[in-house]
Amino acid sequence: MEIIVAEHAGFCFGVEKAIQAAEKAARREPVFSLGPLLHNKQETARLKKLGIIEKDELMEKGAVLIRTHGVGPQTYELLEKQGSKIIDVTCPHVKKAQKVAREAAEQGYQVFILGDHQHVEVQGIVAWTENKAIVINSLEELKKIKLKDKVALLAQTTEKETNFNELVAYLQTQPLDLKILPTICSATRIRQKAAVKLAKQVDLMIVIGGRHSSNTKKLKEVCQKYVTTYQVEQADELQLKWFQNKFKIGVTAGASTPDWIIKEVIEQMEEYKMDVQEENMEESSKQNNVVTEEAVLPQTEETTPNSIDLGEQINIQTFRPGDLITGTIVQVASDEALIDIGGKSEGILPVTEFSNTKVDLCDVLEVGEEITVEVVKKDEEGNIILSRKRAHFNEIMEHLAQVKKANEIIEAPVIEIVKGGLLVDVGVKGFVPASQVELFFVKDFSEYLQKVLRLRILELEPEKGKVVLSQRIVLAEEREKQKAALLKDIEAGQTRKGVVKRLTNFGAFVDLGGLDGLLHVSELGWQRVDHPSDVVQEGQEIEVYVLSVDRDKEKISLSLKELLPDPWQEAIKKYEVNSIITGKVVRIVSFGAFVELEPGLDGLVHISKISKQRIDTVSDVLEVGQEIQAKIMSIDVERKRISLSIKDALIDEEEAKYASYLGHQDTQDLVTIGDLIKENQGE
Ligand code: SF4
């Protein structure tokens, strides 16, 4: 006869923690427990001997222990008022149920609790909702109640998941704002799952636990669906006849069953072993002679738990800060996860101990996954606090050392802006000094939060947890490569795309990819430009014309106006040599005057062409702003020069006048136009 103990049999972490806290308190003074600490007569009797006394009413003074089931807020108030010393061992799962129920009620939800309305845990949760929550124990009960627009559903921590899911499925078909609050304790689910797994493999199941323990009763229920199951509170209830013709016996125990009772039950079964061995051998040999279908079935995926080793199986493991443990995730909420760390213990992994970045644990952890964690401490409530980030510290430091040695680039998000730089998450917190972020000075880092940087490790001191990184180095290296490629390919006369990096009074620096070229203010347009910002802006992508490249000095001159149509060339098409134009004097120089024909198109009237008389100073005759008429004497398209003459315009005018006059004279007078002009000029 083989005896196999199911995984997760016996005390859950909530009960174990409560017993430890009660024993510790009882060493100092008598402890009054508000009702039985757990549903197990034998253990309650043992605890009583230690000074943990069960009371149904509140004591006036002394230490009062609030059980794992929890109580309502009024009880706390009363205890505080009467000056009682409170030892609160409410299970974290129950506390969570109280909290979510209270919040849902405060938010105006009609709160339903699936469970036993007589159970103190349920009564406590109801009290936290100011008695607004409605307790139901079945779908039928729920269907009888008129639902409001906003409904929240939670369950007693030991409720069966199938029952809860049934209600969820029903409510999801209703047109309402539904809030599902998963409060069923994972310890119960895991214990039941392990028991079912074992029940499928054995000939008989023994469930150990108090008859009033709701989780033990449910454990029996789930096992007997697969195999004959007996529930006992203690060893002397076992009956020899149950084991006859049974080869494999499975054992499990409720959450309030102490190890010592499990041990006693198993020892009793060991004694029966010899008695039934002979009989079973006979039966076995009979069975071996008949090859049944079952006997040739392949093994299922499920592994058989190890045969009992009393020393190993019942030993409660102890954990010390710094211990590294690989456990299984059994429950995940946004801000914490419960990890089964063996030894019938569950530890809490708070989100702050998961990583340095803000995460929702539901997004990154999955129930059933294995995770390596480090034991941090036991908190005041006895919970084992775990850290994933500490467990990974050495691993991460080793990894970072390799990255540094190989001079690799590492990517990391910015998690905080601090004085002097940025903090990034490289598994641990790394520091990027402000001067190492960009190739240029950054005044305000607020836009860098959550941004992923590509970094090289500058300094690494694992013992101090110090990691200093630089993005600037990565950018500089990349820029050097780009610059070499650019200088190899770029030629004067090319058109290139670039990004305006910086504006100065004398021009704009344009990043051509590896090197900045200078777009001088005079090259920004055909018209006069006072400041580069009148034409381009920082960050703007533009096309530029390459005027010249100096590879030795790594200087590139650019032009924007070369890519724009030349207004002079366009405008000049309208004008012809010998035509008379009207223009305005815009500038007077010693050798003549510049006359604007139209914006952007000036011509020069040489001093000798200003008047028919000789003049010494231009300003004696002309002034800026004066409108004049002049004759276009020549146009040099290439040099963009227009030569004008006021004098010739006057001569032309006079010739025209005299020609009209002479047209009416007798040709015999033989006076020519030239004669007239000469006369007019006083020659
Ligand atoms: S069964 Fe679950 S809810 Fe109840 S005390 Fe144990 S861990 Fe807490």
For residue range 326-374, list pLDDT tens digits in order.
888 888 888 888 898 876 678 899 988 988 777 889 888 988 888 988 8
| Tens-place pLDDT, residues 203-255 | 999 999 988 887 888 899 999 999 999 999 999 999 988 988 888 999 999 98
Residue 107: pLDDT over 70? yes
Residue 294: pLDDT over 50? no
DSSP-based three-state secondary structure for 582: strand
| Tens-place pLDDT, residues 14-32 | 888 888 888 888 888 888 8
Mean pLDDT of the chain: 85
ipTM of this complex prediction, to 2 decimal places:
0.97
In angstroms, the CA 269 to CA 232 distance is: 12
**Which of 13, 125, 156, 331 should be mutated for ligand 1, with most atoms under 8 A from CB?**
13
In angstroms, the CA 133 to CA 115 distance is: 12
- Band of pLDDT at residue 620, cut at 50, 70 and 90: very high
- Give the number of the atom of ligand 1 that is nearest the alpha carbon of residue 18: 5
Q: What is the pLDDT of residue 287?
A: 47
Contact status, residue 372 vs residue 407, Cβ threshold 8 Å: no
**Which of 37, 93, 156 should be mutated for ligand 1, with most atoms under 8 A from CB?**
93
| Tens-place pLDDT, residues 135-150 | 999 999 999 999 999 9
Average pLDDT estimate for 193-208: 92
Residue (of 317, 253, 261) closest to 44 by Cα position: 261
The phi and psi torsions of 507 (rounded to 5 degrees) equal 160, -170
Task: Output the CA torsion sign for 629, 631, 634, 635.
Answer: positive
Tell me which residue has tokens 């305006």: 500
The alpha carbon of 215 and the centre of ligand 1 are apart by a number of angstroms equal to 9
| Tens-place pLDDT, residues 44-62 | 888 888 888 887 676 656 7
- Give the number of the atom of ligand 1 that is nearest the alpha carbon of residue 91: 8
**Which of 121, 158, 183, 346 should be mutated for ligand 1, with most atoms under 8 A from CB?**
158
Q: How far is CA 616 from CA 475, 619, 649, 651, in A?
A: 66, 9, 20, 20
Residue 90: pLDDT over 50? yes
In angstroms, the CA 376 to CA 330 distance is: 19
Among 459-463, 500-504, 602-606, 619-623, the range scoring the smallest mean pLDDT is 459-463
In angstroms, the CA 10 to CA 664 distance is: 139
The alpha carbon of 96 and the centre of ligand 1 are apart by a number of angstroms equal to 11
The closest residue, in CA terms, to atom 7 on ligand 1 is 14
The closest residue, in CA terms, to atom 2 on ligand 1 is 185
The alpha carbon of 25 and the centre of ligand 1 are apart by a number of angstroms equal to 21
| Tens-place pLDDT, residues 548-575 | 999 999 999 999 999 988 878 888 999 9
From its phi and psi, is residue 420 left (phi > 0), alpha (psi between -120 and 50) or beta?
A: left
Q: What is the pLDDT of residue 247?
A: 87
| Tens-place pLDDT, residues 522-558 | 999 888 888 999 999 999 999 999 999 999 999 999 9
- Band of pLDDT at residue 677, cut at 50, 70 and 90: low
Contact status, residue 501 vs residue 511, Cβ threshold 8 Å: yes
Q: What is the pLDDT of residue 538?
A: 94
The phi and psi torsions of 396 (rounded to 5 degrees) equal -65, -45
Average pLDDT estimate for 660-672: 57
Residue 131: pLDDT over 80? yes
Residue 305: pLDDT over 60? no
| Residue count (the chain) | 683
- Give the number of the atom of ligand 1 that is nearest the alpha carbon of residue 92: 8
Enumerate domains of the chain plus CATH numbers: 93-184 (3.40.1010.20), 195-287+305-313 (3.40.1010.20), 317-391 (2.40.50.140), 393-463 (2.40.50.140), 490-563 (2.40.50.140), 579-630+646-660 (2.40.50.140)
Which tokens hold the place of 474? 């990565």
Among 44-58, 268-282, 437-451, 579-593, the range scoring the smallest mean pLDDT is 268-282
Position 535, amino acid: V
The alpha carbon of 166 and the centre of ligand 1 are apart by a number of angstroms equal to 22
Which tokens hold the place of 33? 């427990």
Average pLDDT estimate for 294-323: 43
Triad 656, 660, 665: Cα angle to 5°: 135
Residue 275: pLDDT over 80? no
Q: What is the pLDDT of residue 43?
A: 85
Task: Output the CA torsion sign for 456, 461, 463, 465.
Answer: negative
DSSP secondary structure of 263-331: HHHHHHHHHHHHHHHHHHHHHHHHHHTS--TGGGSPPPSSPPPPBP-HHHHHPPP---TT-EEEEEEEE
In angstroms, the CA 474 to CA 409 distance is: 8
Q: What is the pLDDT of residue 369?
A: 86
DSSP secondary structure of 345-371: EEEEEEGGGT-SS---HHHH--TT-EE
Which tokens hold the place of 38? 């757990």
In angstroms, the CA 134 to CA 121 distance is: 14
Residue 653: pLDDT over 60? yes
In angstroms, the CA 381 to CA 67 distance is: 12
How many of the other CB atoms lie within 10 Å of CB of 640? 13
The closest residue, in CA terms, to atom 5 on ligand 1 is 14
Position 454, amino acid: R
- Give the number of the atom of ligand 1 that is nearest the alpha carbon of residue 215: 1
Q: What is the pLDDT of residue 298?
A: 29
Beta-carbon contacts of 155 under 8 Å, excluding residues fewer than 6 positions away, are 113, 114, 115, 163, 164, 183, 184
DSSP-based three-state secondary structure for 648: helix
Contact status, residue 486 vs residue 494, Cβ threshold 8 Å: no
Which tokens hold the place of 99? 């909290």
Residue 428: pLDDT over 50? yes
Tell me which residue has tokens 């205890």: 79
| Tens-place pLDDT, residues 365-420 | 988 888 988 888 887 767 789 998 888 787 788 889 999 999 999 999 999 999 89
Looking at the DSSP bridge assignments, the partners of residue 517 are 510
The alpha carbon of 187 and the centre of ligand 1 are apart by a number of angstroms equal to 6
Q: Is 463 a catalytic residue?
A: no
Residue 530: its H or E element: none
**Which of 40, 157, 338 should be mutated for ligand 1, with most atoms under 8 A from CB?**
157
Position 162, amino acid: T
Q: What is the pLDDT of residue 280?
A: 55
Q: How many CA atoms lie within 13 A of 308 on its CB side?
A: 22
Residue 316: pLDDT over 60? no
In angstroms, the CA 374 to CA 376 distance is: 6
- Give the number of the atom of ligand 1 that is nearest the alpha carbon of residue 93: 3
* pLDDT above 90 coverage of the chain, percent: 51
**Using a 6 Å CB cutoff, which residues line ligand 1?**
12-15, 68, 91, 93-94, 157-158, 185, 187-188, 215, 255
The alpha carbon of 252 and the centre of ligand 1 are apart by a number of angstroms equal to 16
Q: What is the pLDDT of residue 659?
A: 77
The phi and psi torsions of 2 (rounded to 5 degrees) equal -105, 135
Residue 154: pLDDT over 70? yes
DSSP 8-state secondary structure symbol assigned to residue 579: -
* Dihedral angle computed from the Cα positions of residues 318, 324, 328 and 332, in that order, rounded to the nearest 10 degrees: 100
The alpha carbon of 15 and the centre of ligand 1 are apart by a number of angstroms equal to 7
Q: What is the pLDDT of residue 20?
A: 85
- Give the number of the atom of ligand 1 that is nearest the alpha carbon of residue 12: 6
Q: How many CA atoms lie within 13 A of 277 on its CB side?
A: 9
The alpha carbon of 325 and the centre of ligand 1 are apart by a number of angstroms equal to 22
Q: Write down the catalytic residue from 7, 16, 43, 121.
A: 121
In angstroms, the CA 167 to CA 142 distance is: 8
The alpha carbon of 136 and the centre of ligand 1 are apart by a number of angstroms equal to 20
